Structure 1
Amino acid sequence: MLQTVSEWIWWDRLWLPVNVSWSDLADSEGRVYAKASQLFDVLPFALCLLLVRFLFERFVATPLANVWGVRDKVRLPAEDNPVLENYYSSTSRIPAQADVLALCKKTSWTERKVQLWFRRRRNQNRAGLRKRFCEASWRCAFYFCAFFGGVIALHDKPWVYDLREVWAGFPKQSLLPSQYWYYYCEMGFYLSLVFSLTFDVKRKDFNEQVVHHIATLTLLSFSWISNYIRIGTLVMVVHDSADILLEGAKVLNYAKWNKAANGVFVVFTALFMLSRLVIFPFWLIHCTWVYPLELYPAFFGYYFFNVMLVVLQALHLYWAVLISRMLFKSLFRKLEGDDRSDEEEEDDSDPPKDANRKVNNNKPNHINASGARGRATGH
């Protein structure tokens, strides 16, 4: 049964154009082709990148953080309280006002003290500024090396300047050494990001990040096996170009170089919109959607590859909205970190703003109006 399933999975008609079989992609006549078995080598490569990341963050990013004065805020630990800890772990990290009052009765604490405990407890689980700085520094360094490595590998290739050349002789296109290493670096990096999701800074778009990494690895793996390598290298270099500036802007922002961070972020936004919303859909997806049909009839692999590209494009649109919001902040207000991050809350003795808002909403309208007038007049 397993043999039958394997035959169906690797059926030529699913993944290859008509009149082409897997035997046609065996090494011969000086041609070398990518092989599915080589994908297993990505795992040790990803683990090596995790080691390189650890060394980079410890011996490069951390000293750089010291030089630039990147410091974590001093955090006061939450007091030991089994009742509140049980609620925090099993029910919610942000209790509703009714639950706060119930917890006050159980603990004999004041409402303000309970709210302060939850703020401090939430802050304990948040990554510090130095961790964010080190992560952004690592990603910036990798994207910088990957992008310029990709440019070096592709600058003399004819399909960079004429996209129809992407499909010349497809799928019988020999694998070049530069393509081999470029693919392995990218696949290893994204696989290492999947491994590190659990201990990296958790952001608001965590689920979208998981979808993005899985879609990227699926695309790279499929393009490797089915020899869509030329278009795969173009997709990678287009994506890396803007990511350098995004991570660079974060690094500068964490170091409190706000004007420089805002300037870099504005340039990043322009490059993101150009590369992800113009070049990617209207050049690269057009290249994979239209040009192959001039050479052979559509097949399952053709649809599969294009659908995965469309999934990536949908994620680009989602992030374009987030980036637009961050751009608005950088132009009209101080840019405060990554808009996708779970930001640290202020640790003071005052109730959180959300709690005040909930309390005020329960008061009569004339009290709210009076409070608004008092704030407006400075009283």
Structure 2
Amino acid sequence: MCLGVHCVHRLFPNTMVQSISEWLWWERLWLPANLSWSDLEDRDGRVYAKPSHLHAALPYAFVLLIIRYLFERYIAIPLAGLLGLRDRLHLTAEHNPLLQHYFLTQSQTPTQGNVRALCKKTGWSERRVNIWFRRRRNQDRPGLCKKFCEASWRFVFYLSAFVGGLLSLYDKPWFYDLREVWAGFPKQSMLTSQYRYYMVEIGFYFSLLLSLTFDVKRKDFREQVIHHIATLTLLAFSWSSNYIRVGTVVMVLHDSSDWLLEVGKMFNYAKWEWTCNIVFVLFTTVFMVTRLIILPFWVIHCTWVYPLELYPPFFGYYFFNAMLLLLQMLHLYWAALIVHMFYKLLTNSFNGDDRSDQEEEDSTDTSEKDNHKRHTNDPGARVTRH
């Protein structure tokens, strides 16, 4: 009996896995009607994209993480030093377990009412409590060198990906006539350049997800996570459904402006204001043209309208376009931020990336510092490098 139960327990998971696999790879989800996976088997010199190829993206992700580490350590950090970038010296918040517990469990920016309540519990003045929270917030903010290193790495990758994407597309007819994207679909042979371009891009965005907890967190952190997941889903689905041609076009459009954004950040961190402003204007122009004009009115129109001339809509058709629309909504959100920054630039009030968590000024007069020393056994404000 025990043996029989053991066999049932072993059989049930296998059956479940098989059922899930059959549902997941059901041909009607991925392919137009009257087509099956057997139609996309390699034959007659044709090689097709397969879902199993996506496993190669994981090693690409880890290799990119290693390359990033080496690049930031041996190239970006020395470059930051040559440009004179130095992390600001932060005054360390005084030792106070009560405020520390509140900071970690309640809020990093307490309201005025909460500040007064904390004053009663600690016996400190409101100003002293506010200064403590200001210093504590500054301690957790990333240094300028870290921001510069991250921007440098993304600049190198996006520029390389953009150039590589152009080299893989410049001689392809569908790069100039989007109707050619669907010529012979889905029986379109995979090219070596397409395989490399896809695996590198998927590996890169997967590496960004893996490094999210270590990277600089910006105000649009959630939107960035959604963007990375939507991009990975879109790339994986387009590869499995053989939407490779339109997928490469979408990637090139995105890479065309991303590298400009990152190099603009680098100039901003280096305090090259005029150069930063020029690059920002160029980035704004390219972003608006590629993501608010070309992508919705050419590419998404191509994926919505032209396929219906060849076959009836199926799940993959709706899913692919839904993911493109999700990306487009994120583009609209970022476009609003860009317009806001552009307005500040025109009114001479531009001060870097609005998405960044800006450091707060921390200045106290002599009497306040003396007051701190009288009320604590800590030997005064300590200066640390972050």
Tell me, yes or no, whether TM beats 0.5.
Answer: yes
Match of 2:24 in 1: 9
Q: Which residue of the other structure, out of 335, 338, 342, is the alignment partner of 1:327?
A: 342
- The answer to whether structure 1 residue 125 and structure 2 residue 140 are counterparts is yes
Shift, 1:335, TM fit: 3.0
Q: Which residue of the other structure, out of 311, 324, 327, is the alignment partner of 1:296?
A: 311
Q: How does 1:73-152 map to 2 (within 5 A)?
A: 73-152=88-167
Q: Which residue of the other structure, out of 243, 248, 254, is the alignment partner of 2:269?
A: 254
Match of 2:201 in 1: 186
Shift, 1:10, TM fit: 1.1
Shift, 1:349, TM fit: 2.1
Query: Which stretch shifts more, 307-316 or 24-33?
Result: 24-33
Match of 1:362 in 2: none
Structure 1 CA distance, aligned partners of 2:306 and 2:90?
Answer: 58
TM norm structure 2? 0.89
Corresponding residue SS for 1:75: strand
Shift, 1:204, TM fit: 0.6
Equivalent residue letter for 2:27 = D
Match of 1:314 in 2: 329
Aligned residues: 350
Structure 2 CA distance, aligned partners of 1:296 and 1:8?
Answer: 22
- The answer to whether structure 1 residue 197 and structure 2 residue 248 are counterparts is no
Structure 1 CA distance, aligned partners of 2:144 and 2:104?
Answer: 24
- The answer to whether structure 1 residue 156 and structure 2 residue 171 are counterparts is yes
Match of 1:23 in 2: 38
Match of 2:379 in 1: none
- The answer to whether structure 1 residue 46 and structure 2 residue 27 are counterparts is no
- The answer to whether structure 1 residue 342 and structure 2 residue 357 are counterparts is yes
Q: Which residue of the other structure, out of 248, 251, 255, is the alignment partner of 1:240?
A: 255
Structure 1 CA distance, aligned partners of 2:90 and 2:121?
Answer: 26
Q: How does 1:269-284 map to 2 (within 5 A)?
A: 269-284=284-299
Moved over 6 A (4+): none
**Greater RCO, CA 8 A, separation 6+:** 2
Match of 2:187 in 1: 172
Structure 2 CA distance, aligned partners of 1:133 and 1:214?
Answer: 25
Q: Deviations over 1:287-334 (max 9, x none)?
A: 100111111111110000000000000000000000001111222225
Q: Which residue of the other structure, out of 217, 235, 250, is the alignment partner of 2:232?
A: 217
Structure 2 CA distance, aligned partners of 1:115 and 1:126?
Answer: 17
TM norm structure 1? 0.91
Structure 1 CA distance, aligned partners of 2:232 and 2:87?
Answer: 34
Query: Which stretch shifts more, 328-337 or 160-169?
Result: 328-337
Q: Which residue of the other structure, out of 66, 73, 80, is the alignment partner of 1:65?
A: 80
RMSD of aligned alpha carbons: 1.0
Identity of aligned residues (%): 66
